[in-house]
Amino acid sequence: MKSISDLKNTDKFRSGALEHILEGELNARSKAVGFHYEGMPTAKGNIIPGTESVPNKFGVYTAKVEVNGVPKTANGGISSFYPKTWNAQDMVDEINQAYNNRAFKSGNEFYGYASTGLKIKMYIDSNTNKIISAFPDY
């Protein structure tokens, strides 16, 4: 997968959501956010060496990250990552699966389950019902 534009079945994602999830970004306040997948050649995020956790039973792991050289500060600087065995299309497909069986948590936060049983947390735009962000639970 060379580009986000190559992905299929992305209609449930808000504009910019896949960039947030797959590549990481600096938000309007210049804070590093997102970055939950290591396999995109266009990624702006990087794992800070020596911070990667041992994967859990679903293959999910965590690490401290930076985006465009700016360390992430939210959530202790840590992102959770989708399994290394998944390609970007697998990730989109599994997020869609979780979206389809989602349950409300609070505010605009929901959770659902991938076909593997992996719990995925999602933030959903209350006006459009589109995914703002989705990341694996560790």
Closest CA to 36 of 16, 65, 4: 65
Residues in the chain with pLDDT values less than 70? none
Give the containing element (helix H, strand E) for 98.
Answer: helix 88-100
- The tokens 């735009």 sit on which residue? 125
Rounded Cα distance, 11 and 17, in Å: 11
Are 51 and 64 spatial neighbours (Cβ–Cβ below 8 Å)?
Answer: yes
Residue 2's pLDDT is what? 81
Residue 108's pLDDT is what? 98
Residue 84's pLDDT is what? 96
Identity of the residue numbered 119: K
Rounded Cα distance, 38 and 31, in Å: 19
Query: Which residues are registered as beta bridge partners of 124?
Result: 131
Closest CA to 36 of 59, 57, 14, 15: 59
